[in-house]
Amino acid sequence: MSYLPYLLAVWIFLVGLFGIVRSRNFIHLVVCLSVTQSSTYVLLLSIGYVKGGTAPIFKDVKPGTKAVDPVVQALTLTDIVVSVTVAALLLSLAILGKHRAGTMDPEELHPMQG
């Protein structure tokens, strides 16, 4: 039972991969990619948890009380904001693909054409 957060990360990763493989629309594909990426945040934060620890903010709290690991939180924080920008770049690629080829279906777009 104590491995449940790690199993959640594995589950979300596999569900996202399944969505990418089965997808019929580029926008749906980008959202599934974003779900897959969020599984890494869950894994990182679950590793850093300390039982009985509090948040690593020490205003009005004596420094030295048991707190969870702050390094993994710092890694995850910047990653969340930047991943939205990358998803926007992928969506603009999908829009351009629609302009050129007329379809948003990955099955109908062949890599080499013309």
Residues 6+ apart with CB under 8 A from 44: 72, 75, 76
Shortest Å distance, C-beta 113 to another protein:
18
x-or-dash string of contact with another protein, 12-31, rule CB under 8 A: xxxxxxxx-xx--x-xx--x
CA atoms of 20 and 92, how far apart (whole Å): 18
Q: Which of 107, 111, 112, 113 is in the footprint of another protein by CB under 8 A?
A: 107
Other Cβ atoms less than 10 A from the Cβ of 32: the count is 19
Position 113 contacts another protein (CB under 8 A): no
CA atoms of 42 and 44, how far apart (whole Å): 6
- Interactions with another protein, residue window 65-104 (CB under 8 A): 67-82, 84-89, 91-96, 98-99, 104
Shortest Å distance, C-beta 65 to another protein:
9
Nearer to another protein, 57 or 113 (CB): 57
Q: Which of 40, 45, 105, 114 is in the footprint of another protein by CB under 8 A?
A: 45
Shortest Å distance, C-beta 4 to another protein:
6
Residues 6+ apart with CB under 8 A from 40: 9, 13
CA atoms of 30 and 114, how far apart (whole Å): 27
